[in-house]
Amino acid sequence: MALALVDCDSFYASCERIFRPDLKNVPIVVLSNNDGCVIARSAEAKKMGIGMGVPWFKVKDSFLSQGGEVFSSNFTFYGDISARVMNILEGFVPKVEVYSIDEAFLGLDELEKNYDLYDFGCHIRRLIKQWTGVPVRIGIAPTKTLTKIAINEVKRLNIPTKVHRISSNKDIRYALKNTPVGDVWGVGRRLNEHLSKARITSALHLADIDPRHAKRKFSVVLERTVRELRGQRCIGIEENITAKKQIVVSRSFGSRVTNLETLKPIVSNFAVRASEKLRNEKQKCSQVSVFVRTSPFSDHKPQHRGYKTIELLTPTNDTRDILAAAKKALVPIYKSGYDYAKAGILLNRFSNTSSKQYSLFRDPDEPKENTKFMEYIDQLNSYQTQIYYASQNTSQWSPMKQNMTSPKYTTCWYELPLAK
């Protein structure tokens, strides 16, 4: 009985190195939207003491003076590389759960009968590195929680192959003994404090308590964690991704927005992107909300927060419907005389595209949903032939400040790397 966790090592930084071999061993940081703070660091940057989430302006001069390289976030590129890694895994393992952009759980129960799982993990790691350029770590264990422990052991023990399996009771207890309880999957800061007060400071201490006591004293979730640490599988591979209950598209602006005419196309861009996500989920929504706000950190300037929800009589994923609702929501919440720092759109109250619900009171001005038309638009946009709606912002001006973005090497024909 075995599961594996595949974890891409310093994923965003590793992506930036794929087409830049000159960056090998160079400290790299990737910044958040608007180049505000550090959201990813290479191992070299971590050794320099660059913290996660630290404001860029605080470390900029020191980092660059030591030869570091900085990039604005390039999520289109990172998402494509992630999909390639996951496709490789799905080609070798029948059960794959994509847990995040840089992590996936694998179900290895069937493979265990015919393969040495450690050798199999090493083989998968070599292929991913060869075919995508992304280095990964692999932890193999009986439960999901223990695969996380195995991944941490790869780093702690500095295992050269970056693959580690813990299966025997002796191996498990040794790994748990060297794992702080705060590093256990699912143990957050607040729970860690409560456990520490109860003198539970290591994963082994946690595994040794009575699961029924964990449930009674804390929660059923911690009971499940205790059982997982003991090698009892409580959390299986989730192959069917649960449909989202909400879609949010929002951004903080690189420069303040002070008028409605500038704000309208920005919100329209958000509405178009949210609609695309909704169709990818094969869902429709019947509630569209828009919000705008000033910066809470500008104490010397007047503050304003606006939020409005539009109820749709008929569920839809047609971009034109959602654009119309977004415009209807934005106008009444906008107030002149304020410097707006952020805006966003939220889609709620989802229903499956296979179901159809009509209303006797449909707005006659509301455009009729055209599923085929939306499919054509999505197909064209997937080939870099961008189709814009009249209300969108099509200029080069962007509400975000991203001055150090790398090319979209794998998703845009015009940004393909040139061999010289």
- Give me the pLDDT at residue 71, please: 94
Per the structure, the complete domain to which residue 102 belongs is given by 82-229
> Do 316 and 356 fall within a single domain?
yes
- Give me the pLDDT at residue 360, please: 54
Q: 223-230: which pairs have CB atoms within 8 A and are 24 or more residues apart?
A: 225/145, 225/184, 225/185, 225/186, 225/187, 228/143, 228/144, 228/145, 228/146, 229/143, 229/145, 229/146, 229/149, 229/172, 229/176, 229/184, 229/203
- Give me the pLDDT at residue 75, please: 86
> Do 202 and 265 fall within a single domain?
no
- Give me the pLDDT at residue 414, please: 77
CATH number assigned to the domain comprising residue 58: 3.40.1170.60
Query: Token pair for residue 192?
Result: 């860690």
Residue 345 lies in a domain: yes
Alpha-carbon distance of 346 to 386, in angstroms, equals 23
CATH number assigned to the domain comprising residue 93: 3.30.70.270
Residue 325 lies in a domain: yes
> Do 31 and 104 fall within a single domain?
no
Q: Are 65 and 48 in contact (CB under 8 A)?
A: no
- Give me the pLDDT at residue 354, please: 64
> Do 65 and 92 fall within a single domain?
no
- Give me the pLDDT at residue 365, please: 52
> Do 340 and 368 fall within a single domain?
yes
CATH number assigned to the domain comprising residue 325: 3.30.1490.100
- Give me the pLDDT at residue 136, please: 96
Residue 320 lies in a domain: yes
> Do 223 and 111 fall within a single domain?
yes
Residue 224 lies in a domain: yes
> Do 36 and 116 fall within a single domain?
no
How do the pLDDT tens digits run along the chain, 420 residues long? 899 999 999 999 999 999 999 999 999 999 987 788 899 999 999 999 999 989 888 999 999 999 999 999 888 899 999 999 999 999 999 889 999 999 999 999 888 888 899 999 999 999 999 999 999 999 999 999 999 999 999 999 999 999 999 989 999 999 999 999 999 998 888 998 988 888 989 999 999 999 898 898 888 999 999 999 999 998 888 866 666 778 888 887 877 888 898 899 999 989 988 998 888 888 889 999 999 998 877 768 888 999 999 998 888 888 889 999 999 999 999 999 888 988 999 999 888 766 555 555 555 555 555 677 777 777 777 665 567 777 776 554 455 556 688 888 887 777 877 776
Residue 362 lies in a domain: yes
Instruction: Indicate the pTM of the whole model.
Output: 0.75
> Do 34 and 170 fall within a single domain?
no
Packing angle, helices 260-280 and 319-333, rounded to 10 = 140
**Residue after which a domain boundary falls, among 50, 77, 104:** 77
Residue 240 lies in a domain: no
> Do 255 and 360 fall within a single domain?
yes
**Residue after which a domain boundary falls, among 77, 103, 118:** 77
Query: Token pair for residue 240?
Result: 């069917």
> Do 23 and 101 fall within a single domain?
no
Q: Are 66 and 59 in contact (CB under 8 A)?
A: no
Residue 187 lies in a domain: yes
Residue 86 lies in a domain: yes
Number of domains in the chain: 3
> Do 216 and 283 fall within a single domain?
no
**Residue after which a domain boundary falls, among 31, 56, 77:** 77
- Give me the pLDDT at residue 399, please: 55
> Do 62 and 92 fall within a single domain?
no
